[in-house]
Amino acid sequence: MPSAPVRVILPGMLRDLVGGVAEIEVESPSDSQTVAELLDRAFSGHRILDGKVRDERGQIRRHVKVFVNGEDATRGEGVGAPVPAGARVHIINAVSGG
Amino acid sequence: MTETIVAIGTRKGLWIARSTDRREWTLEGPHFLMSEVASVAVDTREGRSTVLAGVKSWHWGPTVQVSTDGGRSWTESAERALSFPSDTDTALERVWQLTPDPNDADVVWAGVEPHALFRSTDRGDSYELVRGLWDHPHRPTWEPGFGGGAVHTVLPEAGHPENLLVAMSTGGVYRSGDGGKTWAPSNPGIRAGFMPDNEYPEYGQCVHKVARGQGEGELFAQNHNGVYRSHDNGASWDSIADGLPTDFGFTVLAHPRRAGVVWVVPVADSGERIPPGAQLQVQRSEDAGATWRQQAIGLPDHSYTCVLRDAASLDAADPVGVYLGTRNGDVFASADEGESFHRIATQLPDVLVVRAAQLA
């Protein structure tokens, strides 16, 4: 039986880059995947987003946050954090700048 | 009709000034509002009206944007146009310099932070790391200047595709004679007064900008304390600071047709980064730095701003246009080789880069 898909919710600042898409639904291959694996799948059809959210080493950019079911994954295991099937994942531009 | 454009990259976006007579200007923008634009190139080779911009979003990172209509509309590659290869375990911080190559109309060079040089062979759409400089044994010892550690100057040589020069703050001048495969430091004569013991090290100088003049082997360099000329393509350097109000500054410009004609924008001192005597000014030499004279008509006094290393430019017209952008968001233009200036933009964010060119 397939696992529930993960919903990746994009911030407004990135939606214009992908034709106004606000949310990307990603099939879960199993009960859990890492943030890195999730973003690989989410961005496979929206390549421009990858360079905005992650640097070329695969790390989440300094002023970007990824919340998994309301928890800030970038404070913990980062791109290695587990994402359970059916999760809601928010990509957020941090409150920073001047 | 020929149009002069002045691309103005700032801390918070890009503006484009346009004029058909260099007296009346229109100002378009902002493009990339709230993103830093630290590098711009106007590529007029083969009649193009291409503008390349190194853009960095505080949130979404650095990228290269491309316009093929003189800066009116912009596109960005869906794949990363410029990124470090995975084996370097390095991430791009900022594109500091974009330089169209004078020998190959498809080649564009990019100097970036951290200290590295990239090369595009598709007119700036995608870039590849120049391994020869990246693998240089000195690289781990190049220190970042206040603005970051970067290759901020890239100077190919017209007619000699094998010759390249780059400059870094700090790191100094490095040259290649084989198109970028191998590199060697080239700083004889350039003083590093901030060093505690040896003030003339092999490398490690804080070179702020280098410009290529029209004389045989002629180069000019503005350093962190020190203004220099080379007659031998950068193999050696001689001070030309005598006669200037100060030897500190960030930028240097060389006339596109006349040998020995050079401008600097003096800054009072390393610890006092304002115009000398609070008079914004350029200093012009017509004898390769032997003598200097001030040009300040139309530039403000009681001025406590600063012109950064890439915030000055020349156009290719006759007489040459001179353009200055300041940290308090003014841009000044001269249509008479610096004899008089007028303000063409004001109240912009800090100006990081100015590039002027004539479009067909």
Domain ranges, ordered by start, for chain B: 3-359
Residue B247 reports pLDDT greater than 70: yes
A28 band by pLDDT with thresholds 50, 70 and 90 = confident
The enclosing domain of A40 has a CATH number of 3.10.20.30
CB contact under 8 A, B84 and A56: yes
Nearest CA in chain B to A60: B60
Structure tokens given for B75: 């596109």
Contact B156, B203 (CB under 8 A): no
Distance CA B271, CA B119 (A): 36
From the candidates B12, B56, B59, which should be mutated to test the interface with A, based on the most A CB atoms within 10 A?
A: B59
Distance CA B249, CA B267 (A): 5
Residue A29 reports pLDDT greater than 80: yes
Residue A4 reports pLDDT greater than 70: yes
- Does residue B132 sit in helix, strand or coil? helix
Structural domain harbouring A80? 6-93
Contact B142, B169 (CB under 8 A): no
In chain A, which residues have their Cβ closer than 8 Å to the Cβ of B92?
55-56
Q: What are phi and psi of A35, to 5 degrees?
A: -60, -40
CB contact under 8 A, A13 and B59: yes
In chain A, which residues have their Cβ closer than 8 Å to the Cβ of B80?
50-51, 56
User: Span A77-98, mean pLDDT?
Assistant: 90
Distance CA B281, CA B79 (A): 43
* H or E element that contains A51: helix A47-53
Task: Identify whether A25 is part of a domain.
Answer: yes
Distance CA A4, CA B87 (A): 36
Predicted local confidence at residue B1, as pLDDT: 79
Q: Name beta bridge partners: B239.
A: B228
Give pairs for B269-276: CB < 8 Å, separation 24+: B270/B224, B270/B225, B273/B306, B274/B303, B274/B304, B274/B305, B274/B306, B275/B303, B275/B304, B275/B305, B275/B306, B276/B245, B276/B246
DSSP structure string for B286-355: SSTTSS-EEE-TTS-SS------TBSEEE-SSSSPPEEEE-TTS-EEEESSTTS--EEEE-S-S-EEEEE
Q: For residue A48, give the nearest of B58, B76, B86 by CB distance.
A: B76
Structure tokens given for B303: 């001025």
Distance CA B319, CA B321 (A): 6
Query: What is the count of structural domains for chain A?
Result: 1
The model's pLDDT over B171-215, given as tens digits with 9 standing for 90+, comes to: 999 999 999 999 999 999 999 988 888 999 999 999 999 999 999
Dihedral angle sign, alpha carbons of residues A71, A72, A75, A80: positive
Nearest CA-CA distance, residue B83 and chain A, Å: 6
- Does residue A13 sit in helix, strand or coil? helix
Predicted local confidence at residue B9, as pLDDT: 98
- Does residue A73 sit in helix, strand or coil? helix
Sheet holding B128-129, edge to edge: B94-100, B108-113, B116-120, B128-129
Residue with structure tokens 């961005």?
A43
CB contact under 8 A, B79 and A47: yes
The model's pLDDT over A35-49, given as tens digits with 9 standing for 90+, comes to: 999 999 999 999 999
In chain B, which residues have their Cβ closer than 8 Å to the Cβ of A56?
80, 83-84, 86, 90-92
Distance CA B2, CA B23 (A): 14
Nearest CA-CA distance, residue A86 and chain B, Å: 27
CB contact under 8 A, A51 and B63: yes
Which burial class, exposed, middle or buried, applies to B352 when counting CB atoms under 10 A from its CB (0-12, 13-18, 19+)? Answer: buried
User: Span B92-97, mean pLDDT?
Assistant: 98
In chain B, which residues have their Cβ closer than 8 Å to the Cβ of A61?
59-61
DSSP structure string for B235-299: SS-EE--TTSS-SEEEEEEE-SSSTT-EEEEEESBTTB-S-GGG---EEEESSTTSS-EEE-TTS
Structure tokens given for B340: 């008089």
Q: Which of A92, A97, A77 is nearest to A32 (CA)?
A: A77
The model's pLDDT over B4-27, given as tens digits with 9 standing for 90+, comes to: 999 999 999 999 999 999 999 999
Distance CA B267, CA B273 (A): 6
- Does residue A18 sit in helix, strand or coil? helix
Predicted local confidence at residue B101, as pLDDT: 98
B170 band by pLDDT with thresholds 50, 70 and 90 = confident
Is this model's pTM higher than 0.95 or not?
yes
Contact B250, B309 (CB under 8 A): yes
Please give the DSSP secondary-structure letter assigned to residue B106. T
Task: Identify whether A59 is part of a domain.
Answer: yes
Residue B357: CB atoms within 10 A of its CB come to: 23
CB contact under 8 A, B60 and A48: no
Q: For residue B92, give the nearest of A52, A56, A96 by CB distance.
A: A56
Structure tokens given for A46: 């929206």
CATH 2.130.10.10 fits B3-359, yes or no: yes
Predicted local confidence at residue A98, as pLDDT: 64
Residue A79 reports pLDDT greater than 90: yes
Nearest CA-CA distance, residue B84 and chain A, Å: 7
Give, in degrees to the nearest 5, the angle at Cα B19 between B13 and B21. 155
Q: For residue A56, give the nearest of B60, B77, B80 by CB distance.
A: B80
Predicted local confidence at residue A2, as pLDDT: 66
End-to-end Cα, chain B, rounded Å:
7
Nearest CA-CA distance, residue B119 and chain A, Å: 18
Residue with structure tokens 């082997």?
B217
Residue B47 reports pLDDT greater than 80: yes
Task: Identify whether A98 is part of a domain.
Answer: no
